[in-house]
Amino acid sequence: MSLHLEIVTPEKKIFSDSVDNVYLPGADGEMGILPQHAGLVTALKAGELRYQKGGVTSTLAIGSGFAEVDQKKVIVLTDSALGEDEIDEAATEAAMKRAEEQLAGVEHSLDAEEIAHLQNVIAQAAAALHFKRKHRN
């Protein structure tokens, strides 16, 4: 048995294929999804998504989003999904630093939406850097 996995960002469909299993960075911790999983909709945090097909494990760094799961498919809607070779470590560090400086320096003049956006940028950058460094070694 297999699952159909779709990973979609606002820009494009990143992945669509049958897989053996999927591991997602759920808001409450990592979740493993196998065929015949009970249906659910869950929030995702920035982190590492893994899936296995034919004994080969593939990984992506994803941003926050949602996953819809049923017995035969997993649909991941996320704001970003990058492979290790797509992550520019220096640019990611710079973006994280800019967001941290904006958040720390002028927080009193930011509205709740701007603060949430900056916190999301920091979380995504931190997850991407962790992913890149983990897979580089």
In CATH, which of 2.60.15.10, 2.60.40.150, 2.40.110.10, 1.10.10.10 is domain 3-82? 2.60.15.10
| pLDDT attached to residue 67 | 97
Residues with Cβ within 8 Å of 94's Cβ and at least 6 positions away in sequence, in order, are none
How many Cβ atoms sit within 10 Å of the Cβ of residue 119? Answer: 13
| pLDDT attached to residue 114 | 85
Structure tokens at 36: 């015949």
Say if CB 2 and CB 35 are below 8 A apart: yes
Mean pLDDT of 82-92: 85
Query: Which tens digit of pLDDT belongs to each residue from 20-69?
Result: 999 999 988 999 999 999 999 999 999 999 999 999 999 999 999 999 99
Mean pLDDT of 82-101: 86
Give percent helix, percent strand, percent coil of the chain, each to the nearest 5.
Answer: 35, 40, 25
